[in-house]
Amino acid sequence: MKSISVIGSGTMGNGIAHVFAQHGFQVSLVDIQATQLEKALSTISKNMDRQVAKGSLTEEDKSAALAGISTFTDMQEGVKNAELVVEAATENLDLKLEIFKKLDQFAPASAILATNTSSISITKIAAVTQKPAQVIGMHFMNPVPVMKLVEVIRGYATSNEVTEQIMELSRNLSKEPVEVNDYPGFVANRILMPMINEAIYSLFEGVAGVAEIDTVMKLGMAHPMGPLQLADFIGLDVCLSILKVLHDGFGNPKYAPCPLLVNMVTAGYKGVKTGEGFYQYT
């Protein structure tokens, strides 16, 4: 594969475009907003500067990678030559179903259609296309250029051949792919989100304060970030929506989102992106 299209140029989309471009792929980055695409290119350039500063990327490689990224506001144009499309739009079921209906029409018939969804069913997304065997989950972790994992999620109808291709491709990006099946939260968020929810419950019930909870997990369990800081980093609205997927999908009260999380999201305290969550960022 040489030609990849990435749909959505937010935090995950620009990170995914960054990694593919750095590994020599021709990347078409698609977003409905031209200003968002400009912002994404500037973010990719700054993040590559970090790699240049520490010597893991040369200035020449950086220039070549940036030259390999083209931007599009027209999806039809942006995916017409794609061998693989990675969708990284907002985590919203209806939006993703709309996008996949269009990708099914506009991308070449042989293209693999991947989604970076953190919790929406791959099987459900695949069902709106004519080629569910070619639809797969390719779940990167934030920050994409740094984190080694790609969670590769097989939908109910995903073929063995497509799964193998995506596993191999992920290794070619210097990532470590792990194959999992399509059940609510897959593996990453089925384990991560109950931990974050439990940290929020510990705060809600007055067991300890924000800094104390995070310090216990950072120093006691060698986590790079405490669970409350990580929740702010992921986005509290995203955490809430993933917990709802787990709760609805399994019908088990153990996944019920903590009322404090619900209140914070309702009040607009969504973490780093809004300037305040469990911590302040302004």
Query: In the block, which residue shows the tokens 């990327």?
Result: 57
Residue 195 assigned to a binding site: no
74 close to 34: Cβ distance less than 8 angstroms: no
Closest CA relative to residue 239, chosen from 208, 269, 204, 202:
269
Catalytic residue flag (residue 189): yes
Residue 83 or 237: which CB sits closer to ligand CAA?
A: 237
Active site residue 168: no
Site residues, ligand CAA (CB under 6 A): 47, 50-51, 54, 118, 141-143, 145-147, 188-189, 224-225, 230, 234
CA distances, 170 to each of 23, 131, 152 (Å): 11, 22, 9
Measured from the CB of residue 118, what is the shortest distance to ligand CAA in angstroms? 3
Based on the number of CB atoms within 10 Å of its own CB, is 174 exposed (0-12), middle (13-18) or buried (19 or more)?
exposed
Is residue 23 annotated as part of the catalytic site, yes or no?
no
75 vs 88, beta carbon nearer ligand CAA: 88
Of 130, 136, 183, 141, the closest CA to residue 163 belongs to 136
The smaller minimum CB distance to ligand CAA, of residues 224 and 251, is found at 224
Least CB distance to ligand CAA at residue 51 (A): 6
Catalytic residue among 139, 197, 202, 241: 139
CA distance 65 to 247: 41
98 is catalytic: no
**221 appears as a binding residue in the annotation:** no
User: How near is the Cβ of 114 to ligand CAA at its closest, in Å?
Assistant: 15
198 is in an annotated binding site: no
Residues sharing a CB contact under 8 Å with residue 110, sequence separation 6 or more, in sequence order = 83, 134
To the nearest whole angstrom, how small is the minimum distance from the Cβ of residue 22 to ligand CAA?
10
Choose between 82 and 245: whose C-beta lies nearer to ligand CAA: 245
Tell me the C-alpha to C-alpha distance, in Å, between residue 107 and each of 7, 21, 82, 114, 188.
12, 20, 6, 12, 29
- Residue positions annotated with a catalytic role: 118, 139, 151, 189
Residues flagged as binding site: 8-13, 31, 91, 96, 118, 142, 273
Residues flagged as binding site for NAD(+): 8-13, 31, 91, 96, 118, 142, 273
